[in-house]
């Protein structure tokens, strides 16, 4: 079991040539994002309040992440206060956001659409209310 697992871990560890890097920072209780290699765009992403007539209760955010489909994307994940976890189940991504540490992973979105995720590390009173939304677009 060890040998094929180590090979896969090695192959998955580092991405060669991502088109863009997204930095995701966990806070109590929202995410903020930085496109560090794209005009230094930075924004916060809070859950939408319930009283709006949106269909995605507890899942939608005011400012969504926008990423290009059919391209390798690198994501860097960290936190400012406690441990959070940045998770998009439909993309197969789950990575912890630790204060004082930068984690890296990558993914590839092969279709346009909206992808939802939530924080997956019990991080305090509003743990349930810091969702993640990615809009993947064709460029
Ligand atoms: Cu952030 Cu749970």
Residue 84 CB–ligand 1 contact under 6 Å: yes
Whether the Cβ atoms of residue 119 and residue 127 lie closer than 8 Å to each other: yes
How far does residue 89's CA lie from ligand 1's centre (Å)? 15
- Return the ligand 1 atom nearest residue 123 CA: 2
Six token digits for residue 110: 């092969």
The arithmetic mean of pLDDT across residues 61-82, rounded, is 94
Residue 119 CB–ligand 1 contact under 6 Å: yes
- What the chain holds in terms of domains, given with CATH numbers, is 17-137 (2.60.40.420)
Which tens digit of pLDDT belongs to each residue from 14-69?
A: 767 889 999 999 999 999 999 988 899 999 999 988 776 767 888 999 999 999 99
Query: Which residue, 68, 63, 64, is CA-closest to 38?
Result: 68
Residue 47 CB–ligand 1 contact under 6 Å: no
Residue 134 CB–ligand 1 contact under 6 Å: no
Residue 27 CB–ligand 1 contact under 6 Å: no
How far does residue 102's CA lie from ligand 1's centre (Å)? 17
Whether the Cβ atoms of residue 107 and residue 124 lie closer than 8 Å to each other: no
The arithmetic mean of pLDDT across residues 6-17, rounded, is 84
Whether the Cβ atoms of residue 21 and residue 75 lie closer than 8 Å to each other: yes
**Percentage of residues in the chain with pLDDT exceeding 90?**
79
Compute how many other C-beta atoms are within 10 angstroms of the C-beta atom of residue 32.
16
Compute how many other C-beta atoms are within 10 angstroms of the C-beta atom of residue 75.
24
Residue 65 CB–ligand 1 contact under 6 Å: no
Six token digits for residue 102: 């930068």
CA atoms of 77 and 83, how far apart (whole Å): 11
Closest Cα to atom 1, ligand 1: which residue? 84
Which distant-in-sequence residues (6+ apart) come within 8 Å of 84 by Cβ? 26, 31, 96, 97, 119, 121, 123, 130
């Amino acid at each position: 079991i060890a040998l094929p697992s180590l090979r896969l871990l090695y192959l998955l560890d580092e991405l060669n040539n991502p088109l863009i890097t997204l930095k995701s920072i966990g806070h109590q209780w929202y995410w903020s994002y930085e496109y560090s290699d794209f005009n230094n765009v930075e924004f916060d992403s809070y859950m939408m309040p319930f009283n709006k007539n949106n269909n995605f209760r507890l899942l939608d955010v005011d400012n969504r992440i926008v990423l290009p489909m059919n391209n390798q994307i690198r994501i860097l994940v960290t936190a400012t206060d406690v441990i959070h976890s940045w998770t998009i189940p439909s993309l197969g991504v789950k990575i912890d956001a630790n204060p004082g540490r930068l984690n890296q992973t990558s993914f590839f979105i092969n279709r346009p659409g909206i992808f939802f995720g939530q924080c997956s590390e019990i991080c305090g009173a509003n743990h349930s209310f810091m969702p993640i939304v990615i809009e993947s677009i064709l460029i």
